[in-house]
A = this chain, B = another copy of it.
Amino acid sequence: MAVWKGRERETMPHNIAILGASGYTGAELVRLVATHPSMRIAALGADRRAGVAISEVFPHLRHLDLQVMARIGEIDFSGIDLCFCALPHATSQSVVRDLPATVKVVDLSADFRLRDPDAYRAWYGRPHEAAELQGEAVYGLTEFYRDRIRAARLVAGTGCNAAAGQFALRPLVEAGVVDLDRILIDLKVGASGAGRTAKDHLLLSELSENVKGYSLGGSHRHLGEFDQELSGIAGRPVRIMFSPYLVPATRGILLSAYLRGEPEAIHRCLREAYAGEAFVVVLPYGGTPAMKDVRGSNFVHVGVVGDRVGGQATVVVALDNLVKGSSGQALQNANLMLGEEETSGLMSAPLYP
């Protein structure tokens, strides 16, 4: 809920805390919550920038009259209805563990995505500090966990790449229309997926006019999510191939899943799976979306095209990594957890061009 002059409210808004407000997903939450009709930002947490106005860090929020960012330990959570944790991986688990049990939590880090402590340790190279919560956390891919999310206290936001891939694959694995042993994903992602960390390879001078692979060969951590989720659906181990590439864009994911299966059956399966979804648009057969088609929005566009090689299909998925891939998804989940309409505050059209 924004704080501009003349704004009026009929009902009591939900009090929202956003931890990690000085990062990209945190700022994106502020952007979205600021105009949400039934939420109100009650606290902003950012340990390293405590005492600083968020507009110092994110000048695009200058028009909002917001709290100064505070140390997380100094936030009074007694009146908070729901807390978004947009903290770095590994930092989140102990923070979430220590929050009052009365506060609902949507965690955007990787900390609660994997239910199995061993899988967590394998992919993240360290033991989990709140293993007791790993089982409780509901995986936050709203379209597939809607009922459990409504009842959850702790929801784990998905990886942005993992979200994009699952929009392509889940209905197909469920329906058994693709060869599970030959799923290959090539994904193009903008730089904001790596956060606001000042690293050499994320400099405009390095990434402009460039494309580069990273974590090729099956080493990307989001594979942990793919393994857990797809194997769960299939009822047997599924190990996909996954190759992500950084492209010279800020936001956005364009994912291509190359699949063995009948292209039109694949298209039909996806169209039916998403028929009732407000945020997922399946294109007519043969059409594929572009990355910018969903920029800045919570929408997902999905297209299917057959190949000249028989029995081979390409499913292309576009989503905005900072919205549907993280903060928008988080707000969609929060809407459910707070009894609001799922689409509330999320129907803004993409920004184009």
Contact = CB atoms under 8 A, between A and B. Distances in A.
Q: Which of A60, A251, A316 has the most CB of B within 10 A?
A: A60
Nearest to A220: B308
A301 interface: yes
A239 interface: yes
A17 to B, nearest CB: 18
B196 A198 contact: no
A35 interface: yes
A73 interface: no
Nearest to A34: B349
A61 B58 CA distance: 28
A237 to B, nearest CB: 12
Contact of A247 (B248, B294, B295, B301): B248
A208 B249 contact: yes
A288 B213 contact: yes
A205 interface: yes
A203 B352 CA distance: 13
Interface stretch (A75-83, A128-136, A161-169, A186-194): A186-194
Contact of A35 (B205, B206, B347): B347
Contacts of A307: 217-218, 241
B210 A314 contact: no
A84 interface: no
A283 B56 CA distance: 11
A250 interface: yes
A64 B349 contact: yes
Contacts of A258: 184, 186, 241, 243, 258
A82 B212 CA distance: 36
A90 to B, nearest CB: 21
A206 to B, nearest CB: 6
Interface in A208-261: 208-213, 216-219, 223, 239, 241, 243, 245, 247-252, 254, 256, 258
A6 interface: yes
A9 to B, nearest CB: 14
Contact of A292 (B34, B209, B347): B209
A325 interface: no
A217 to B, nearest CB: 4
Interface in A105-138: none
B290 A208 contact: no
Contacts of A241: 258, 307-309, 312
Given A258-B184, A347-B4, A250 B62 contact: no
Contacts of A35: 347-349
Interface of A: 2, 4-6, 24, 27, 30-31, 34-35, 58-64, 184, 186, 188, 190-192, 196, 198-200, 202-213, 216-219, 223, 239, 241, 243, 245, 247-252, 254, 256, 258, 278-279, 281, 283, 286, 288-297, 299, 301, 305-309, 312, 314, 316, 341, 343, 347-353
Q: Which 4 A-B pairs have the closest CB atoms?
A: A218-B308, A212-B290, A210-B292, A60-B350
